[in-house]
Structure formats: C-alpha cells, structure tokens
C-alpha cells in the first residue's frame, strides 16, 4: 500500500545535472512514486543565480541559502550536485545532522573525504549514496558494493573520463595531433574551457580512488593514486601502438597485489591490445573492466557524463535511499575492514614501450641491451630504424617494476650513443 505523505527532497545545484534531476522527478513522478512506495516532492532548490529561468521548477522553491535549506529538519533526502570540496562538504554534513540522507555526484569530495562522510552518515543513521560520482549513467558502484560483495575483486581497469577518450580516439582514428583533437572536443562541448582536470588525469584519479576503496574494502584517498596526464601523447606514439596491434587509452587501474597483501591505484596513458574490450570504446564513452575470483571478467559500458545520463544514476540512488527511508533502514556504508596498504608506483609491475633516439652505428643495440640487463629489465622485442647517422630504437620489455624501469632510463640517458628518450608508455590489458 502506497504512503500518501510525500518524501521531501532538496536539490543542491541546478546546472546541467541538477536541472535534469528536477525534470525527471517532475515528469516521471507517478512512476517514481510507484517504485518507491510513496510520492517524492521537490521541497527546495539551492542555486547561485536565482534570476535564471528554470523550466518546470516553481520560483518559490528556488533559494540562494543552501545552508538554511539543509537545516529545515523536514527533509528526507538531500541531492548534492554542486561539486567541489566546499561548501559541498559542510552542506552534506549539515544535512546528516538535520535528519536527511544524501545522494551525491561529487567525485572530488568523496575521493578526498569519503571515509569521514561515511562516518558522519553512520553516526546519524543516514544513507550516503554516490553512483553518479563515477562513470555517469553506468551502474558500477552498486555492483561493486552489493552484487560483488561476496566475491574477491582483483582488478578494476577502465576508461572513466569521456573527454580524454574522445581526444585519444580522434588522434587514433584521424591521425590528428593532441591540440587539434582537444580543439574539436572543446568545440563539441566535450572539453571544458580549462580542460586540466580531464587531460591531466585529476578527474580520473578521483574516480580511481573511489573504485579502489570499494573494490578492495580499503580506504584509498586521492593522494594515494598515482596520476599522469595525456598531454604528451603524440601521433608518433599512436603509430608505434598500431605497429604493436594496440591503441592508446587513458586508464584508471586499481589492482590487488598477487600475494593479496597490498593494492595500487593509478591513472596514466597506456597501450592496450586491439583485442581487449576497452580498445573498442570510442568517442566520449566510458567502460570499466572488472576481474574477480568467482565472477571472472565483467565489463560495464555506457555514457560517462552529460546531464541526462548522470541524472539517471542520481535518480537510481534517490529511489534506493527513499525505499530505505520508508523501511526505516539504511543501505551499505563504508567497507574498509581489509585495511590493505597502498603500494607506491615504484612497486607496480607492468610492460613498457620505450622509444629512444640513438646514433646509427654498430654496437648501440648491445650497449642499450646491457643497460636493461644490468637493471634487471628483460627485453621482449627491439625494433631499430636508421637514416643519416641517426636512428630510432623501440624497445618493448617484459614485465618490470616502475622503479627498475626508471633506473634503466636514467642510465640510458647517460650513454653517449643515446640522443634522447622520445617516449615511454606502459602496456596494459594483456
């Protein structure tokens, strides 16, 4: 039997995502009520610019005083889609203290302070849900937190930023340079006027921290995630990747060590074989590949950003939280019982593709091979091309630690016959 008294929801932020949340709450009100077991009422919307016309939202619901809104005391759920650290953090904690559960899409805040927010939610007996914080519309956090709760996740490998995937896809498919592809992404609205958070990997790193924490039942903060951007990826790198039967993606990689005693989380460009499912992810789409003991390999794919896709994830959380509210219960909170250490990047083991500019004369290859051997890095393949006294030497290694590779490269730079290190890229997904 449906309850007639509505559940009251406040919305913090009414931009691209928030306006879609409000629209769906209005246009699908009857369906949402049927799924929840009670009507859902939009009780207030906090914005920065109250004079902007917001179609479908009654003007009397709009306020610039977000603090007063979350302190009302009669709210059931607060939906936070303003982003950033403050005032979002204070507003969320205030909402908990005044009786509301929270649905958030704030990846930066959750990556930095997720443990503290979970603790405050638990203290007040409230829910904190955030499916929309990672990979937009793709159901990912709930499968990791609930569907795979009885399994052991060993690896999460994914494309979690649509802007960077669009840029790299354009470079791969058209031969465009980085700046040309970025300009197109900006013109189409995929890239912000300042794309730093995307192209330097900050956005993906925040998402990697969240995914690693859930997958490995361990607190992983943003500072624990090794991050490299993709601004140095060139058309020459893509040409080398194609010769290896690979393409290049900016990947978020969260792994459990082989002995199970530690985890790593990192974001960087990498070559992946064209046979890997992630290689076929085109345009601004996201995809995440999960490997676990019992379930094996799973792939989650779909639009990773945008108003309507992200709002879909927000509304899914809203329905779940409202159901919990009616049932007088809460959903799963933080699971950090494993408390595994997060290993530094130097201990990460992977394959490498190294391109060297060298003198085109006898003995160079032997010198280079000796340096690799002295640092314990085994060579898989070597390709050399020379012209007019100069040559390009491409070395692909077997698996080696990041620290060992770093020592190797430092030693190579000291050789008189090595003119420079043109590029270094990891090879993943094999």
Q: Which residues are catalytic?
A: 207
Give the span between the Cα atoms of 311 and 26, in whole angstroms.
13
Residue located via tokens 């379930």: 295
423, β-bridge pairs: 355
Give the span between the Cα atoms of 8 and 24, in whole angstroms.
15
**Helical H runs in 12-82?**
16-27, 29-36, 66-70
User: At residue 331, what are phi and psi to the nearest 5 degrees?
Assistant: -85, -170
Give the span between the Cα atoms of 396 and 382, in whole angstroms.
6
User: Which two structure tokens, joined as six digits, stand for 317?
Assistant: 């959380």
148, β-bridge pairs: none
Encode 224-265 in three state secondary structure.
HCEECCCCCCCHHHHHHHHHCCEEEEEEEEEEECCCCCCEEE
Collapsing DSSP to helix, strand or coil, 422 comes out as strand
**Helical H runs in 133-234?**
141-142, 162-174, 178-187, 196-199, 202-216
Per-residue DSSP letter, 181:
H
Collapsing DSSP to helix, strand or coil, 368 comes out as helix
For 234, residues 6+ apart whose C-beta sits below 8 A from its C-beta are 177, 178, 423
Give the span between the Cα atoms of 337 and 301, in whole angstroms.
29
Residue located via tokens 């091979």: 369
* CA dihedral over 69, 74, 78, 84, signed as positive or negative: positive
Q: How far is CA 365 from CA 59, 81, 323, 356, 379, in A?
A: 73, 55, 66, 11, 12
Give the span between the Cα atoms of 193 and 157, in whole angstroms.
28
């Amino acid at each position: 039997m449906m309850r007639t008294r509505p559940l009251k929801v406040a919305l913090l932020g009414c931009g691209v995502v928030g306006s879609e949340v409000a629209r769906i709450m209005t246009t699908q009100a009857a369906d949402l009520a049927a799924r929840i077991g009670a009507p859902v009422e939009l009780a207030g919307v906090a914005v920065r610019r109250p004079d902007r016309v917001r179609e479908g939202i009654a003007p009397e619901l709009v306020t610039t005083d977000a603090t007063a809104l979350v302190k009302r005391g009669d709210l059931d759920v607060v939906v936070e889609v303003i982003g950033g650290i403050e005032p979002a953090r204070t507003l969320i904690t205030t909402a908990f203290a005044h009786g509301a559960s929270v649905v958030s899409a704030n990846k930066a805040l959750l990556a930095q302070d997720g443990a503290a927010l979970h603790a405050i939610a638990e203290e007040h007996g409230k829910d904190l849900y955030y499916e929309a914080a990672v990979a937009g519309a793709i159901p990912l956090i709930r499968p990791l937190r609930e569907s795979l709760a009885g399994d052991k996740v060993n690896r999460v490998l994914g494309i979690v930023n649509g802007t960077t995937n669009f840029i790299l896809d354009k470079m791969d498919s058209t031969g465009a340079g980085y700046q040309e592809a970025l300009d197109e992404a900006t013109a189409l609205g995929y890239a912000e006027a300042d794309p730093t958070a995307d192209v330097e990997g900050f956005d993906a790193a925040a998402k990697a921290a969240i995914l690693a924490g859930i997958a490995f039942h361990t607190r992983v903060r943003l500072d624990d995630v090794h991050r490299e951007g993709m601004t140095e990826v060139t058309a020459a790198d893509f040409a080398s990747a194609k010769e290896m039967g690979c393409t290049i993606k900016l990947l978020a990689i969260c792994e459990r060590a082989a002995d199970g005693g530690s985890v790593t989380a990192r974001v960087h460009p990498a070559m992946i074989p064209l046979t890997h499912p992630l290689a076929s992810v085109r345009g601004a789409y996201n995809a995440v590949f999960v490997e676990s003991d019992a379930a094996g390999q799973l792939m989650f794919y779909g639009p990773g950003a945008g108003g309507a896709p992200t709002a879909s994830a927000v509304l899914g959380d809203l329905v779940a939280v409202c159901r919990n509210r009616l049932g007088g219960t809460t959903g799963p909170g933080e699971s950090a019982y494993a408390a595994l250490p997060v290993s530094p990047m130097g201990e990460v083991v992977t394959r490498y593709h190294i391109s060297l500019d060298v003198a085109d004369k006898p003995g160079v290859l032997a010198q280079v091979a000796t340096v690799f051997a002295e640092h314990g890095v085994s060579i898989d393949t070597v390709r050399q091309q020379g012209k007019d006294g100069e040559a390009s030497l491409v070395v692909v290694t077997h698996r080696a630690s990041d620290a060992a590779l770093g020592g190797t490269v430092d030693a190579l730079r000291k050789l008189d016959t090595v003119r420079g290190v043109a590029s270094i890229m990891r090879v993943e997904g094999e």
